[in-house]
A and B are shown apart, each in its own frame.
Chain A
Amino acid sequence: MNSSMILSITTFIYAFSGIFLVSSWIFKKSLPDTIGKWLIYAGFSGSSLGIILRWLESYKAGIGHAPLSNMYESLIFFAWAVILIYFFINYKYKNQMIGISSSLFAFLAMAYAAMSPNINDRIQPLVPALKSNWLIAHVVTCFLGYAAFSIAFGISLLYLVKLKKELDELIYETVAFGFIFLSIGIITGAVWANSAWGSYWSWDPKETWSLVTWLIYAALLHARVTRGWQGKRIAYLSIIGFIAVLFTYFGVNYLQGLHSYGK
């Protein structure tokens, strides 16, 4: 068994958990919900095992490093982070929508990693700029943030379809959760940049887009807390914020800058 095999199986597990959770929601039955939830546990175990195996495989290849160094590895980690955030938020708020949104995002990320012709799944050695203890702290916090924003995006779409009041509160809480991790992600990135290049902020496109994302969500939180914005307006802002997340993650690879190894 190697990491790629486990990760391919995991991709299907996430797909099935999404199908079970959605059908439980549509047909209002509890059995598919239970199966879907168990599949999420199975998927998370698969993701974790795959990441650990890939880590070990990199050591066997003599270029040992945490599997967080390129687009393929980041997508696999993203799926793992989405499910981790799911456990946390679902434990606090117990809502079926969180599970649907999370399993679909985990599936999409893993499927994209496996299918996209531009994404290389080989284990590659680290370029000098990435050889730092900050790599893990920076990538993990950023991706926990991205994961929470993705779940918030999913809930926002569901809210616009169903207009349930509890979903509105959930969007806010999930965004707040993502906002902390994005902030810590930007901060660890700044500290790292300062130790590698002597500048904590260089207006590199990825940095700038992460700031744009931060500003949009900061506007959302202020609108909500102090101006009492609710419902559709918050859902739309959360969708706009998520577009900025996507651009921070994928889009900036088409612009020149310091983060080119993320391709």
Chain B
Amino acid sequence: MLWNFFASVKLTIALLLIIAVISIIGTLIPMGSFDIYHSFGFQILILMLGINIVICSMERFSQTLKIISIKTPSTNISRFYNSEAKETITIEEPIEKLKRFIAREVEKGFKNNVTDDTNDKFLIFAEKGRLTRMSVYIIHISILILLLGSLVGSILGFTGYVNIPEGSEVRNIDLNKSGHVYNLGFAVKCDDFDVSFYDSGTPKEYLSKLTILIDNKPVLKQDIVVNKPLRYKGISFYQSSYGLIPPKEALLNFNSKETGMSYKINVKVDEEIDIPEKKGKFKLGGLSHYEEVGEAFFGTYSTEKGKEEVVIPLKFPTFDKMRGGDFFISLLDFNKTYYTGLQVVYDPGVSLVYAGFIIMIIGFFINFFMSHQSLCIEITKIDEKTSSVMVSGIANKNKIGMQNKVKELSLYLKEKNYNE
């Protein structure tokens, strides 16, 4: 009962289409709200498809085995008489001459030839590509290997994330799913991070110089960019994001409008300082990203009259001049340190998945570009000088291709000069 349920190709078609519809729904619901693809129901569907593939393949395999284990090609002539790929021609040559030539011609492209020779009739049966009938099982096995690989990855593997400031090293990463901390068993150091831009302002390359350390001794140094990860002990580190480390202080210039003097002051974040010439107080808030001006320091300028917001973009250090107050504050220098954001992945299922990919491609090529082809040529004596030749072919796939092949072969036989 359950066997028959899973042995049905109707179920395959239904499952393929149901999985398609649910996948579509998954792309329409907003990201982050509900992960339909890792839901229990979706995984049950994938499991059912896996079982379906196994049982359908088992059901059909015995039939295929029967076909491919027969020693000689099919000599059932009525199948060839009824084939759509069939041509009958008349050739002005005696049957004896044609026999030898056609037998040799057929041997070139086909194996397993069987001939049936009587006085007025000559029959030849030939075939090739019998083993290509196995291709469908190759494809199904590849899909099972692929599913197994993804299962191995999801059980034994992990994905995590870590930010490393330039010049620092880390031993632990945060795992994505559980949020737990994972100890790598070695240290990863970011020696340097660099981001470069095209003239148009779009990013050109993100580059991190990484070193792997064991017991404080460097064992591997490698630069990584977006498409070139670092791999060590099965764990891969991918360039994923970057950012500026929030600075703790900045060297600012306070420019007085009244006296024209400027005062260099090293200001610490969150520390309120008195502005020279008794013009009020200033508190540096920190560094933030602004939509219009990009990375910028922000702070509060306060006097008895009230408070004013001050923004000092890194790209435009004298931007604050436009505020038009008694003082404008410009940026002279600060300790600019980046951190690199790395995606950390351990997936022991990848080699299985890749094996599945390769086997699948091989299976597809055999399945779609090769077929089990049977050929039958019947030569009948009309008189001493003329013969009638029937060329007929049967293929398990690509029936139009077989028809063309039969047409070409009969045309070749008809136009061939047999006296050469």
Q: Is A92 an interface position by the 8 A CB rule?
A: yes
CB under 8 Å from chain A, chain B span 188-229: 198, 200, 202-206, 225-229
Inter-subunit contact B16/A218 (CB<8 Å): yes
CA distance A262 to B7 in the complex (A): 41
CA distance A124 to B201 in the complex (A): 12
| Chain B nearest Cβ from A86, distance in angstroms | 16
Q: Is A187 an interface position by the 8 A CB rule?
A: yes
CA distance A177 to B150 in the complex (A): 27
B240 contacts which chain A residues (CB < 8 A)?
197
Neighbour of B361 across the interface among A127, A170, A183, A190, CB < 8 A: A183
**A30-42 interface bits toward B, Cβ cutoff 8 Å, 1 = contact, 0 = none:** 0000000000000
Inter-subunit contact A195/B227 (CB<8 Å): yes
CB under 8 Å from chain B, chain A span 147-177: 166, 169-170, 173, 176-177
Do most interface residues of chain B lie in helix, strand or loop, or is the interface mixed?
A: helix
Task: Provide 19 A-B residue pairs closer than 8 Å at the C-beta atoms, listed in order of the A residue.
Answer: A63-B198, A93-B400, A125-B202, A128-B206, A128-B225, A131-B225, A131-B227, A132-B227, A179-B364, A180-B365, A183-B360, A187-B361, A190-B353, A190-B357, A196-B227, A203-B26, A212-B20, A215-B16, A227-B13
CB under 8 Å from chain A, chain B span 234-265: 236, 238, 240
Inter-subunit contact A198/B400 (CB<8 Å): no
Inter-subunit contact B226/A128 (CB<8 Å): yes
B69 contacts which chain A residues (CB < 8 A)?
none
Number of residues of chain A lying within 8 A (CB) of chain B: 52
Q: Which of A63, A184, A203, A223 has the most CB of B within 10 A?
A: A203
Q: Is B12 an interface position by the 8 A CB rule?
A: yes
Do most interface residues of chain A lie in helix, strand or loop, or is the interface mixed?
A: helix
Nearest 10 pairs of A and B residues by beta carbon: A198-B345, A215-B20, A132-B227, A128-B226, A219-B16, A198-B238, A205-B27, A226-B9, A187-B357, A212-B20
Q: Is B368 an interface position by the 8 A CB rule?
A: yes
B206 contacts which chain A residues (CB < 8 A)?
128
Inter-subunit contact B13/A194 (CB<8 Å): no
**A243-263 interface bits toward B, Cβ cutoff 8 Å, 1 = contact, 0 = none:** 010000000100110000000
CA distance A79 to B148 in the complex (A): 38
Neighbour of B203 across the interface among A127, A192, A209, A212, CB < 8 A: A127
A169 contacts which chain B residues (CB < 8 A)?
399-400
In the complex, what residue of chain A is closest to B150 when comparing beta carbons? Answer: A201
B72 contacts which chain A residues (CB < 8 A)?
none
Inter-subunit contact A200/B350 (CB<8 Å): yes
Number of residues of chain B lying within 8 A (CB) of chain A: 50
Inter-subunit contact B400/A166 (CB<8 Å): yes
Q: Is A45 an interface position by the 8 A CB rule?
A: no
Inter-subunit contact B9/A252 (CB<8 Å): no
B266 contacts which chain A residues (CB < 8 A)?
none
| Chain A nearest Cβ from B111, distance in angstroms | 23
A96 contacts which chain B residues (CB < 8 A)?
none
Q: A200-B353, A216-B20 are in contact. List 6 more A-B contacts (CB 8 A).
A: A125-B204, A169-B400, A198-B343, A212-B24, A215-B20, A256-B31
B409 contacts which chain A residues (CB < 8 A)?
none
CA distance A169 to B401 in the complex (A): 10
CA distance A244 to B16 in the complex (A): 14
Inter-subunit contact B13/A219 (CB<8 Å): yes
Neighbour of B23 across the interface among A134, A177, A211, CB < 8 A: A211
A209 contacts which chain B residues (CB < 8 A)?
23-24, 27
CA distance A169 to B395 in the complex (A): 13
B225 contacts which chain A residues (CB < 8 A)?
128, 131
| Chain A nearest Cβ from B8, distance in angstroms | 10
CA distance A177 to B367 in the complex (A): 11
In the complex, what residue of chain B is closest to A198 when comparing beta carbons? Answer: B345
Q: Is B404 an interface position by the 8 A CB rule?
A: yes
B353 contacts which chain A residues (CB < 8 A)?
190, 200
Inter-subunit contact A219/B203 (CB<8 Å): no
| Chain B nearest Cβ from A2, distance in angstroms | 21
CB under 8 Å from chain A, chain B span 7-22: 9-10, 12-13, 16-17, 19-20
**A104-133 interface bits toward B, Cβ cutoff 8 Å, 1 = contact, 0 = none:** 000000000000000000001101110110
Known: A128-B225, A129-B226, A129-B227. A208 touches B23 (CB 8 A): yes
A211 contacts which chain B residues (CB < 8 A)?
20, 23
Inter-subunit contact A196/B400 (CB<8 Å): no
A219 contacts which chain B residues (CB < 8 A)?
12-13, 16-17, 20
A227 contacts which chain B residues (CB < 8 A)?
9-10, 13
Inter-subunit contact A208/B16 (CB<8 Å): no
| Chain B nearest Cβ from A261, distance in angstroms | 10
| Chain B nearest Cβ from A33, distance in angstroms | 19
B236 contacts which chain A residues (CB < 8 A)?
198
